[in-house]
Structure 1
Amino acid sequence: METPALGEWLLEDFGLDVVDITRVHGGADLAAEVWRVDTGVRSYAVKWSGGGTDAGALVAAELAAAGVVGVAAPVRARGGGLWSVRGGRRLTVVPWADGASAGEVGLTLEQWAAYGVLLAGVHAVEPSDELRRVLPALNPVNARMPGLMRELDARLTGRAPVDAVEAELGEVWLADRDRILGLLEPVDGPRGEAVICHADPHLGNVIAGDELRLIDWDDAVLAPREQDLLLVLGGMGSLGPTDAEQLDAFFGGYGAVEVDAVNLRYYRRARALEEVALWAEQVITGPDREDSLRIFRGALASDGMATVALRS
């Protein structure tokens, strides 16, 4: 899509007369494009997405209306909706969050505590009947992972690699194939109370500025809180707490909670499948194939999500 078309869409759909458009790079969502747009008065983050579900914008709107600090409500379109549709994809607009990605700059202990408060606020909001109707219990990404894992295994064990990068991926896959396929073994769960969950609240989706902002609600689900808490309990490297002090600060803000070991194991397996399969797929298909291979290796490392999931 050319950015001049984006300006026309924003004017027609949201009444925003933009004077500057800048593409935002980064993130693993290949089904989305993101821009920063400026009107001369205010800046906005604009996302054009074919991934996730339509519930994400509704979740953000309800959380913002409930007063959860750190969640921005989407700007409503001229027709009153929380998004418009262009080219078969959702076009959403939210106020721009000034600051840096916490995945790049990290969080101070004070910010880790604030992040705990933020996520506890998300989990405490009672979803409306409308949100309960549309919010899935299972992330659509997770649902396709077992099939993708089997397709990758057939390719990497049954045919010659197309180039050196795929050959290296195949070597790593074969060396760790038993553990990789072990992630497909079913485990019990989930069970218990379901709450609004972001489903991907790692530091790459946190903006650290004057206040913290949790962004990218496309994969939100209605699930036990372990769906989110798994990302602060190991396996995420620098995208989660890296020491006990940071973890203590997070739970100092979040509050006392008894983590359900069955749910934690279930969601860790689901996340590990995603980390292994999606990054392996991106090694084959691109973009950023060598970076994807590095991340794939990280998931299988001694402190990676696959290893953490298999030993829990």
Structure 2
Amino acid sequence: MTELTQVHHGADAAAEVWNADDRYAVKWSGGGTTAGVETTAFLAAAGVRGVPAPVQTISSGLWSEHQGKRLSLAPWIAGARAAETGLSTEQWASYGALLAEVHSQEPPQHLQDLLPPINPVSHRMPALTRELNHRLTTQAPADDLEAELAETWQSHRETIATLLERSAIAPTPGKRVICHADPHLGNVLVAPDQLYLIDWDDAVLAPVEQDLLFMLGGMGALGPTTQADQDAFFTGYGPAKLDPDRLTYYRCARALEDVALWAHQALTGPDRKDCLEILQGVLSPDGLAVRALA
């Protein structure tokens, strides 16, 4: 009999993950799109070793449908989360090389058609931000934690409003490549043989700025924390000519996502206090929200 152990990592409330006997990672997801599984299958087949290939179903599919969600399997990677261990200089260079290899793959037409141009989560953020703004600025808080959340929100209303405005402006066109769209260290596993980039639910076809924003500061311990780390990443990645307008757009879109989702979870749970502290970090002087608008 296969023993399933639930894995409690990540902030994706739409997905549940189990470890099946240290053989498979079992994911039941209602978020993202089917493009994520298709993308990992393509990248693994193309020889990108840092992307685990999905295990086919008995009908040769990449996932099955259960209760309106996708159930998929991938090999279980026995490794630590880079968000917990950090990366050495050599590992930062290896990660840069891995992401460059992902970006260099030319997806077939059917995958280009399937991959969305913008992270699906981003489409929901303007409405959620306005809903949160109404509640936190016009309604009495239900408890002390919501009162602190409202105070944090109101003290940063101008920043949040500017993020909302700038993330609504379409970025300048650029060459579109396969992007993970969430390649922070929480989605990187450090295994004995190499690094692995997991959780491709939000994969998109977009300019490289969509992914590289995570390597330019403002992500706390989920990105490079020193100039040496950042330099090592780009040594492995190679030359990257970033468009300032596109970078501002993607940083603002991500910052708005972090603000709205962490604020919402601070209201609804779970882990309300932790979520409030993360939100305060995003809005801090060294957080992504402020850096995005610099």
What's the TM-score, normalizing by structure 1?
0.92
Q: Distance in 2 between matches of 1:288 and 1:188?
A: 34
Q: Distance in 2 between matches of 1:146 and 1:190?
A: 20
Q: Distance in 2 between matches of 1:55 and 1:146?
A: 24
Partner of 1:145: 125
Letter in 1 for 2:257: E
Superimposed CA distance per residue, residues 138-184 of structure 1 (whole angstroms, 9 cap, x where no aligned partner): 11101111111100000001111111111110011111111111111
Partner of 1:308: 291
Unaligned regions of 5+ residues in structure 2, if any?
none
Query: Does 2:171 align with 1:189?
Result: yes
Partner of 2:186: 204
Change in 2 beyond 3 A, CA 1:133/1:188 = closer
2:223 to 225, 240, 259: 240
Equivalent residue runs for 1:1-312 within 5 Å: 18-38=1-21, 43-186=23-166, 187=169, 189-210=171-192, 211-311=194-294
Identity of aligned residues (%): 59
Per the TM alignment, residue 19 of structure 1 is displaced from its structure 2 partner at its CA by: 2.4
Per the TM alignment, residue 91 of structure 1 is displaced from its structure 2 partner at its CA by: 0.3
Letter in 2 for 1:68: V
Unaligned regions of 5+ residues in structure 1, if any?
1-17
Q: Distance in 2 between matches of 1:56 and 1:19?
A: 26
Partner of 1:3: none
Q: Distance in 1 between matches of 2:164 and 2:275?
A: 21
Letter in 1 for 2:292: A
Per the TM alignment, residue 260 of structure 1 is displaced from its structure 2 partner at its CA by: 1.2
Contact 1:190 1:224 in 2 (8 A): no
RMSD between aligned residues = 0.9
Letter in 2 for 1:191: P
Per the TM alignment, residue 303 of structure 1 is displaced from its structure 2 partner at its CA by: 0.8
Letter in 2 for 1:22: T
Superimposed CA distance per residue, residues 203-234 of structure 1 (whole angstroms, 9 cap, x where no aligned partner): 00000112100000000000000000000011
Runs of 4+ in 1 over 6 A off after TM superposition: none
Contact 1:199 1:221 in 2 (8 A): yes
Q: Distance in 2 between matches of 1:309 and 1:226?
A: 13
Contact 1:188 1:262 in 2 (8 A): no
Letter in 2 for 1:199: A
Contact 1:152 1:281 in 2 (8 A): yes
